[in-house]
Amino acid sequence: MARLTQAAGRRLVAGVPILWLLLLFLIPFIIVFRISFSEVRLAIPPYTPLISWRHGAPSLELYGSAYSFLFTDPLYISSYLYSLKVAAVSTLCCLCIGYPMAYAIARSGAASRPVLLMLVVLPFWTSFLLRVYAWIGLLKNTGVINNALMYLGVIHHPVALLQTDFAVYIGIVYSYLPFMILPLYANLEKHDMALLEAAADLGARPLRAFLRITLPQSFAGILAGSLLVFIPAVGEYIIPTLLGRTDQLMIGRVLSDEFFENRDWPVASAVAILILLLLVMPIMLFQRLERRQLEAVK
Amino acid sequence: MSAILKMNAPTTTAAADPASAYVRIANLTKKFGDFVALDNVSLDIRRGEIFCLLGGSGSGKTTLLRTLAGFESPTAGTIHIEGADMSAIPPYERPVNMMFQSYALFPHMNVEKSEMLDIVKMGGFGARKPHQLSGGQRQRVALARALVKRPKLLLLDEPLAALDKKLREHTQFELINIQQRLGVTFIVVTHDQEEAMTLGQRLGVMNHGRIAQVGSPCDIYESPATRFVADFIGSVNMFEGRVSEAEPDGVRIECGELACALRVQRAVSCTRGATVWTAIRPEKINISRQPPAQAAGADNAVRGTVREIAYMGDLSIYLVQIESGKVMRVTLPNTTRGAERPIARQESVWLSWHGSSAVVLTE
């Protein structure tokens, strides 16, 4: 009896997240996938049905026009590539800034560590949207940065900071930095200090010990942090919309415009499916690498 | 006379000959906040010897080793290796290597090929990663790695602690063998006194951040300098008493805990009336049904009742309650297979020992 309830309990614990993923991920995905193979029409819903009755017989209506459209209009390809570039550069910046911070926190005293971690997480206490808006106030032509530089005499005319790639990078790096720091910290904090001592003992100077011992061992943390930044950055909508260029859209903005402005659900769905494909591949790669790392540690 | 020489020998010879001091530790103090881990430690290590630092946890032995390696910087005092001051030398430039207690093998690296692998009999394991090795193999690889740079001084932090008993004994002799082949000076930290006595040509017993005694295993065991050392190494029966007669070749001690007087035939520097402690090792005591030759009322003989017998195979431990109520520990080797009439529990027995077997301690 006890074993029965235990088995039932185990099934329940595993079942809830599976059900959650089924209802809120798999089913919406199937719906979007299905819409991406229809054509737009003026109706409610604004796309052709999957099965239509023609001469009394059901016929399957699948169209690839949404996908072929994505590859004929250069707007989509360039938005994809631009999004990948922005995400990649932002991830690299987050890594370069986040790694030293995570390292410093992991090596700081046991008493100051919780405080430092708290400071990393502190920005989340303010609305994300508000924080991005605040950057407009800092970056615009009459904003804090330009005003300060002009007052100091460094520049005589305002420098265009807002609506540039630079502004998007600042926004993304600023917003996603904690997602880089936290997994890196979790990794670096677990490192065995005796390994660094052993490296020093064998004649490695601190830089060499870092490159040969700490860096390779923190690979899983680098990968986790990079994916946590890269994946949401590719589909980022708010930051490029508020801070970014108007002549070059990111794919998240394109998706939203197709959906809400053009009411072209099939093309919007096709864009969404392609983003997903673009992102699923690095996730799968990550999981494979992580599994290999785990095996190595065992 | 020989007793005097023996007792003085360990403390004087090392300091008297500075040329033999390969590593010279002078007035070394290390504090962690208020905690004094090393308290004014001075110690000379000779070239090519195996020196064992023995002590309980928190005695400072590991701190001393880590300071030698350069992982801790001393609060005060100096370390010289081959006459060179190590104060400003970082760990990666010291002519010293360390074998870590945890082995500290790099989990993401291969063992790699090295001649040292052959010396530790791990020649074919170069392609393996640490997680593909057994505990004993890891220990060998850790040793090979520590030797690969041909250090003149190798520090070993509890090198055998993670091995099981049989493997540990075997590896002890192998370590000595390797040390002699390569001519490296070993400083070994261990909490295991058997390990220290087998491995070490000389031992340094540590307590509360100080060196309690330095000497050969035999010196330390047979002529402990303090009560702590006598008690820490092996087991011992200890009696507090008062010196009643101080003669050139020995002392007589009146002891409330014993029904007999103690006569110790060893030179002891103490005065009449001084409080001293007499230590007698359990294996130096005879146990018999008949009164010993010196008979009742004589020195160094006492009556008692056997309370417990622990049969250990090679020897038996007897806990004998003497007339004062104190329990003495006696060990006898089981030299024959099943004695005809072994001493049983609750039997009344005589305990006796030779006057030269006891050690008088003044501190």
- Could you tell me if A204 lies within 8 Å of chain B, comparing CB atoms? yes
B71 to chain A, any CB pair closer than 8 A? The answer is yes
Kindly write down the DSSP assignment for every residue of B220-266, as one continuous string. HHHS-SSHHHHHHSS--EEEEEEEEEEETTEEEEE-TTSSS-EEE-S
For residues B253 and B261, what is the distance between their CA atoms, to the nearest angstrom?
6
pLDDT tens digits, residue range B122-134?
A: 888 888 888 889 8
Identity of the residue in B97, B105, B131 whose CB atom sits nearest the CB atom of A201: B97
**Which residues of chain A from 171 to 200 reach within 8 Å of chain B, CB to CB?**
192, 194-195, 197-200
> Residue B308 pairs with which residues in a beta bridge?
B319
pLDDT for position B256: 81
Confidence label for B111 from pLDDT (cuts 50, 70 and 90): confident
pLDDT at B5: 37
Q: Which of B66, B71, B72, B148 to mutate to test the interface with A (most CBs of A within 10 A)?
A: B71
Mutate one of B62, B86, B98, B114 to test the A interface: name it (highest A CB count within 10 A).
Answer: B98
How many angstroms separate the CA of residue B125 from the nearest CA in chain A?
A: 17
Please tell me which residue of chain A has the smallest CA distance to B104.
A195
Residue among B192, B203, B193, B283 at smallest CA distance from B233: B193
Residue B151: other Cβ atoms inside 10 A: 19
Lowest mean pLDDT among A42-51, A173-182, B3-12, B353-362: B3-12
Surface-to-core class of residue A18, CB atoms within 10 Å of its CB (0-12 exposed, 13-18 middle, 19+ buried): exposed
For residue range B112-160, list pLDDT tens digits in order: 777 778 888 888 888 888 888 988 889 989 999 999 888 989 999 999 9
Q: What is the pLDDT at residue B51?
A: 96
Is the pLDDT confidence value at B6 over 50?
A: no
**Among the partner residues B102, B131, B149, nearest to A297 by beta-carbon distance:** B131
Contact A192 B98 (CB under 8 A): no
CB contact under 8 A, A197 and B149: no
Place of tokens 């530089």: A149
Q: What is the pLDDT of residue B9?
A: 38
User: Taking CB atoms and an 8 Å cut-off, how many pairs form between chains A and B?
Assistant: 54
Of the partner residues A204, A213, A298, the one whose CB lies closest to the CB of residue B131:
A298
Average pLDDT over residues B271-288: 89
The Cα of B131 is separated from the nearest Cα of chain A by a number of Å equal to: 6
A71-297 is a CATH 1.10.3720.10 domain: yes
CB contact under 8 A, B131 and A200: no
The answer, yes or no, to whether residue B13 has pLDDT greater than 50, is: no
Q: Domain boundaries in chain B? A: 9-232, 237-361
Superfamily (CATH) of domain B237-361: Nucleic acid-binding proteins (2.40.50.140)
Could you report the per-residue pLDDT of B176-214, keeping only the tens digit for each? 999 999 999 999 999 998 889 989 999 999 999 999 999
> Mean pLDDT, to the nearest integer, of A102-123?
95
Per DSSP, the three-state class of A274 is helix
Tell me, what's the pLDDT at B330? 94
- Contact criterion met (CB < 8 Å) for B106 and A195: yes
- A211 in B contact zone (CB under 8 Å): no
Cα–Cα distance, A16 to A269 (Å, whole number): 28
Write out chain A residues lying below 8 Å of B97, CB-based.
Answer: 201-202
Which tokens sit at B154?
């190798």
What is d(CA B341, CA B338) in angstroms, rounded to the nearest whole number?
8
Across the interface, whether the CB atoms of A200 and B92 are under 8 A apart is answered yes
Asked whether the beta carbons of A38 and A50 are under 8 A apart, the reply is yes
Distance CA A35, CA A48 (A): 8
> Among partner residues B91, B102, B129, which is closest to A201 by beta-carbon distance?
B91
Contact list, A205 vs chain B (CB under 8 Å):
92
Residue B211, pLDDT score: 94
Handedness of CA A222, A224, A229, A231 (dihedral sign): positive
Residue B18 has pLDDT above 70, yes or no: no
**Stretch B293-305: mean pLDDT:** 75
* C-alpha dist (Å) from residue B61 to A71, A133, A260, A272, B195: 72, 60, 73, 64, 15
Set of chain A residues whose Cβ sits within 8 Å of the Cβ of B93: 203
Once rounded to an integer, what is the mean pLDDT over residues A140-152? 93
Task: Verify whether the Cβ–Cβ distance A197 to B93 is below 8 Å.
Answer: no
Put simply, the answer to whether B98 touches A213 (Cβ < 8 Å) is no
pLDDT at B282 over 90: yes
| Cα end-to-end span (Å), chain B | 22
Instruction: Report the run of H or E that residue A170 belongs to, with start and end.
Output: helix A165-189
Q: Are A194 and B107 in contact (CB < 8 Å)?
A: no
Flag whether pLDDT at A294 surpasses 80.
no
pLDDT > 80? residue B99: yes
Best probe of the A interface among B73, B100, B103, B143, by most A CBs < 10 A, is B100
The minimal CB distance from B92 to the residues A204, A216, A296 is found for A204
End-to-end C-alpha distance for chain A, whole angstroms: 36
Nearest Cα residue in chain A from B101: A194
- Quick check: A187 and A221 in contact, CB under 8 A? yes
DSSP strands (E only) in chain B:
21-32, 35-46, 50-55, 76-81, 84-85, 96-99, 153-157, 185-190, 202-207, 210-215, 237-247, 250-254, 262-264, 275-280, 286-288, 301-311, 315-322, 327-333, 348-352, 359-361
How confident is the model at residue A175, as a pLDDT?
95
Q: Kindly report the CA angle at A248 between A246 and A251, in degrees rounded to 5? A: 110
Chain A: give the shortest CA distance to residue B115, in Å: 16
Residue B331, phi then psi, degrees to nearest 5: -120, 140
Tens digits of per-residue pLDDT, B226-272?
999 999 998 999 999 888 888 777 888 888 888 777 888 776 777 78
- If you average pLDDT over residues B308-326, what whole number do you get? 91
Interface test with A, best of B108, B154, B187 (most A CBs within 10 A): B108
- CA angle at residue A256 from A252 to A258, to 5 degrees? 115
Peptide bond into B10 cis (omega under 30): no
Judged by DSSP in three states, B85 sits in: strand
Provide the angle, in degrees to the nearest 10, between the axes of the packed helices A128-139 and A144-151.
30
CB-CB under 8 Å, B149 with A203: yes
Q: Does B149 contact A202 at a Cβ distance shorter than 8 Å?
A: yes
CB contact under 8 A, B107 and A197: no
- Residue partners of A204: CB distance under 8 A and separation at least 6: A212, A213, B92
Answer whether residue B7 shows pLDDT above 60.
no
User: For position A288, what pLDDT does the model report?
Assistant: 83
Q: What is the distance in angstroms between the Cα of A179 and the nearest Cα belonging to chain B?
A: 25
Q: Among partner residues B107, B145, B146, which is closest to A296 by beta-carbon distance?
A: B107
Helix (H, G, I), strand (E, B) or coil at A212: helix
Q: What is the pLDDT of residue B125?
A: 86
CA distance A162 to A176: 19
Give which of A238, A273, A204, A253 is closest to A78, Cα–Cα.
Answer: A253
With an 8 Å Cβ cutoff, are B92 and A213 in contact?
Answer: no
Query: By CA distance, what is A216's nearest residue in B?
Result: B108
- Find out whether B144 and B151 touch, Cβ atoms under 8 Å: no
Report the gap between the CA of A205 and the closest CA in chain B (Å): 6
Q: How far is B222 from chain A (nearest CA, A)?
A: 37
Contact check, Cβ <8 Å, A198/B98: yes
d(CA B27, CA B29): 6
Domain residue ranges of chain A, discontinuous segments joined by +: 71-297
CATH of B9-232, one of 3.40.50.300, 3.60.20.10, 1.10.260.40, 3.90.1170.50: 3.40.50.300
Is pLDDT of B104 > 80?
A: yes
- Contact between chains at A201 and B92 (C-beta distance less than 8 A): yes
Distance CA B186, CA B177 (A): 12
Q: What is the mean pLDDT of residues A236-252?
A: 92
pTM for the model stands at 0.79
Interface contact A201, partner B, CB < 8 A: yes
Q: How many whole angstroms separate alpha carbon B311 and alpha carbon B203?
A: 30
**Structure confidence at residue B131 (pLDDT):** 87
